Amino acid sequence: FVAKLIFGSVMGIDESGNYFPLLAEKVETSEDGLTWTIKFRDGLTWHDGTPFRATDYVYTLTQAATRRGVVRNLMMGFDSVTEVDSSTVQINFKMVNAAFQYALTTAYLAPMPQAYIESVGAEEFARKPIGLGMFKFKEWVVGSKLILETNRDFSALPEGKLLPYIEEFEVRFIQEDATRLAGLTNGEIDYTYVNSTQISQYLNNEQYTVVPRKAGGFGSVVFMNVEKAPFTDLNVRKAFAHAVDR
């Protein structure tokens, strides 16, 4: 959530589930689904004022392709990425990736500032990030809160949308449900997640606005116990992986 506010995303999803370009001006897919062309908006600048270049996104995807976990699955079949011009990249896949369009709406594949990361190092970047998003990083108190400020230079707004009127956005890290809800009740917190077992007290209450959230589905998962035969054999595990028609 916070990462997307800072880094932005190539595409967005509206209330009806429709995809639209966000940091991108246009996203096109070849007829066979193996080639994606992304043209970014003109005039995009990083939070430190330096201009965004297509090479930043070549760097982003090249780095992302080396990761494991969620990012690796979102980029399944990735082959290469090349710069077409200063604002356009072409991405090639070895297989059709049905998840890639969704991936472009997440912070997992949000553009990363190559020059800044290489200048300050990955650890410093993680502590003081810059991005292309609607909010800029201001302060981080580990385990307590994160303060962001509105990026008044953000220009990748959908038609008819305006920048937030607020100047600062504070995210607090509160694990206990009771503490969060108490903060919401006494006005200390403006917005928080409320689980289904506690939502009834806020429904039909004029003091609160309840914003429903669509939950994603769950894919089927097979866990292999690598300490028991036959899954102790790497080739057996590979055979199961190849047997699945993704």
- Give per-residue pLDDT as tens, 112-151: 999 999 999 999 999 999 999 999 999 999 989 999 999 9
Counting DSSP H helices and E strands in the chain, the numbers are: 8, 9
The number of beta carbons lying within 10 Å of the beta carbon of residue 63 is: 14
Whether residue 216 is predicted with pLDDT greater than 70 in this model: the reply is: no
Residue 26 clears pLDDT 70, i.e. is over it: yes
For residue 213, what pLDDT band results from cuts at 50, 70 and 90? Answer: confident
Q: What pairing do the DSSP bridges indicate for beta strands 145-150 and 24-29?
A: unpaired
% of the chain residues with pLDDT over 90 = 70
Compute the distance between CA of residue 58 and CA of residue 115 in angstroms, rounded to an integer: 13
Q: In 3D, which of 12, 120, 21, 8 has the Cα closest to residue 60?
A: 8
Cα separation, 157 vs 163, in Å, equals: 8
Per the DSSP assignment, residues forming a β-bridge with 27 are 38
pLDDT reported for residue 67: 86
Report CA-CA distances (Å) from 205 to 52, 56, 93, 185, 196. 45, 47, 50, 12, 16
Angle 206-15-184 from CA coordinates, rounded to 5°: 35
The pTM assigned to this predicted structure is: 0.80
152-179 pLDDT, tens digit per residue, is: 988 888 777 888 888 998 999 998 989 9
User: 51-79 pLDDT, tens per residue?
Assistant: 999 999 999 999 999 887 888 889 999 99
DSSP-based helix, strand, coil % in the chain, nearest 5: 25, 20, 55
Q: Is 220 exposed, middle or buried (0-12, 13-18, 19+ CB in 10 A)?
A: exposed
Of residues 221 and 118, the one with the higher pLDDT is: 118
Mean pLDDT, residues 48-53 taken together: 95
Residue entry with tokens 């004022």 = 49
At residue 70, the pLDDT reads 84
CA distances (Å), origin 40, targets 86, 103, 139, 146: 9, 16, 29, 29
Mean pLDDT for the chain overall: 91
Q: What is the pLDDT of residue 217?
A: 62
Edge to edge, what strands does the sheet with 145-150 contain? Answer: 135-141, 145-150, 168-172
* 12 within 8 A of 104, measured Cβ to Cβ: no
Single-letter code of the amino acid located at 148: L
Share of the chain above pLDDT 70, in %: 97
Residue 85 pLDDT greater than 90, yes or no: yes
Among residues 138, 120, 166, which one has the least CA distance to residue 47? 138
More confident residue, 113 or 193: 113
Measured distance CA(179)–CA(43) in Å, rounded: 43
